[in-house]
Amino acid sequence: MHIRSASCSGFRNLTACSLEFSPRVNLVLGRNGEGKTNLLEALNYFSLGRSHRGCRNEDLVAFDRDDLHVRLEVARKRGEDFTCEFGLSRRGERRLRIDGELVLRRTDLVGRLATVFFNPETTRLVRGGPRYRRQYLDQGRSEIDKVFLGELTALQRALRQKATLLRDLRRGAAHHETTRRELVAWNRELARSAAVVCLGRRQETELLNSFVRHNHNTLINKDLDFRMIYLPRFESVKNLTAAAGEDPNSQKQLTEEITGELDYIMEQEIRRGRPLIGPQFDDLEVRCEGVDLRQFGSQGETRSAAIAMTLARSDVLFATQGIRPVIFFDDIFSELDRERARRLQEMAASLHQVFIATARPEDVEGWQPADLRRWRVRAGDVTLDDG
Ligand SMILES: Nc1ncnc2c1ncn2[C@@H]1O[C@H](COP(=O)(O)OP(=O)(O)O)[C@@H](O)[C@H]1O
Ligand SMILES: [Mg+2]
C-alpha cells in the first residue's frame, strides 16, 4: 500500500500544498520546528482517525484558520485504490470520507490506511506502562479482526460502567440492591467480551512472535532468544493454549470461567470501590535471553526491542491481509548507531513505502535506494528538493 499524493490546507503550520510521493522512499528534510512532524501527522491521521500525537482535533487547525482539509490518494493492493479525506474545524467538527462517502464511526476506518509509525516515543512500548503494550496488541488485532474490534469497544464500555457502579456503591450514592444487580449484569457483559479480547490478545502475541525475533536479530545482527509473553490477569486465561481462540466452545467455556472469577471477587471489589481483576490489568513481557527488558533493558536494548515489535505489526498485516503498510520514521535514526540505522532503513524500504523525517541529513548520507524522493520543509512550506 502507498500514498500516491496528498493535498493539505489549514493543517498546523503547513502551507497549502499538493504533493506526489515516491511509492518507495520519501525523505523529509528540514531543521527543527519547520513542520516535518506536522506533515507526517497529516499523512498518518486517517489510519486511526486521530492524531498519533494524542492531541485534540482542534489543535491541528492552523492558528489563523477556522478549518483544515486533507485529501490522500492511496494505492492498495491490486488496483483497489481509494481516496480518503478529512476535514476538521476549530469548533471541533470532524468529517471523514472514503471515496467521497461519509464515514460516521472511527472504527470503520480501522485497517483502511494501514500505517506503522516510529518516533522516539516508540520505546515506551517496552519502557512505559502496561497500557502501551495492551494498546499494541489491541491495535494490531483490531486491524485484522473486526469481531475483536467490536468486542474491545464493548469491553471498554463495560469497564467504564463497572468502575462507576463500584464508585457509587462505595460512596453510598446508589441504591444498594439495584446497583448490585446492575453490577452483576455488567460483569456478565464484561466476561463475554473479555473472553474474546483475551483470546485475541493471546493469538496476536503468537502471531507477532513468529516475526519479532527475526526482526530483532536482523536489526542488531546477532542471534538472541527474543520473544514476547502475554501476561493475562484472569487465571482462566493463563491456563489457555494459543489454539483455544479458534474453537467456539472454548470461548463459551472461558466466558463461564471468567464469570466465576468476577463473581468470586465481587464483594472485595465493592469494599474497595474499584475493579481488582480484568483485562485492563493485562501486560506483555518482553524477554531477551531470559531477561525482562521492561525492567532491566538498557536504552539500546529497549530501543531495538520496540522497533522489532513495531515492525512485526507490519509483518502480521502482510501475513493475514496481504497488505504492506506505509511506514513513517520520525526522527529516530539519530538515536541508533549507523549500522543499525542503515539496516532498519533497508529492512523497511525493501518492501514498504517509507517516509523518513530528519533534521540531520547525515542519518541517510550515502544511502541510495531506488525511487528516492527528497522533500524539503521550510516554515511549513513543503517542496521537492533536487539538491
Ligand atoms: N495549529 C497550528 N497552527 C500553526 N502552527 C502550528 C500549529 N501547531 C503547531 N504549529 C507549529 O509547527 C511547528 C512545529 O512543527 P513540527 O512539525 O513539530 O516541526 P519538526 O520539523 O521539528 O518536526 C512549530 O513552529 C509550531 O508552532
Ligand atoms: Mg519533528
Which pLDDT score is estimated for 242? 57
Neighbours of ion ligand 2 (CB under 5 A): 37
Which pLDDT score is estimated for 78? 76
Given a cut of 80, whether residue 385 has pLDDT beyond it is: yes
Helix (H) or strand (E) holding 147: helix 146-171
* Position 173 confidence tier, pLDDT thresholds 50, 70, 90: confident
- Percent of the residues in the chain that have a pLDDT greater than 70, as a whole number: 98
- Give the contacts of 78 (CB within 8 A, at least 6 positions apart): none
Which pLDDT score is estimated for 243? 64
Is ligand 1 within 6 A of the CB of residue 12? yes
Is ligand 1 within 6 A of the CB of residue 352? no
Range with lowest mean pLDDT among 158-162, 170-174, 327-331: 170-174
Given a cut of 90, whether residue 172 has pLDDT beyond it is: no
Which pLDDT score is estimated for 159? 97
Is ligand 1 within 6 A of the CB of residue 38? yes
Atom of ligand 1 nearest to the CA of 377: 21
Is ligand 1 within 6 A of the CB of residue 62? yes
Which pLDDT score is estimated for 334? 83
Ligand 2 centroid to Cα of residue 188, in Å, is: 45
Q: How many residues does the chain have?
A: 387
Which pLDDT score is estimated for 40? 98
Which pLDDT score is estimated for 364? 87
* Residue 237, phi then psi, degrees to nearest 5: -80, -35
Question: Average pLDDT in the 9-38 region?
Answer: 97
Which pLDDT score is estimated for 285? 98
CB 310 within 8 A of CB 124: no
Q: Nearest residue CA, atom 18 of ligand 1? A: 37
Per-residue pLDDT reduced to its tens digit, 184-232: 999 999 999 999 999 999 999 999 999 999 999 999 999 999 999 999 9
CA 169 to chain centre: 35
Mean pLDDT for all residues in the chain: 94
* Position 13 confidence tier, pLDDT thresholds 50, 70, 90: very high
Given a cut of 90, whether residue 111 has pLDDT beyond it is: no
35 closest CA partner among 381, 386, 329: 381
Which domains can be identified in the chain, with CATH numbers? 2-114+323-384 (3.40.50.300), 130-287 (1.20.1050.90)
Please give the full DSSP string across 188-255, using - where no structure is assigned.
HHHHHHHHHHHHHHHHHHHHHHHHHHHHHHHHHTS---EEEEEE-SSHHHHT--GGGGG-HHHHHHHH
Ligand 1 centroid to Cα of residue 310, in Å, is: 26
Is ligand 1 within 6 A of the CB of residue 10? no
Own/partner pairs, 294-301, CB within 8 angstroms, 24+ separation:
294/126, 294/127, 297/126, 297/127, 299/123
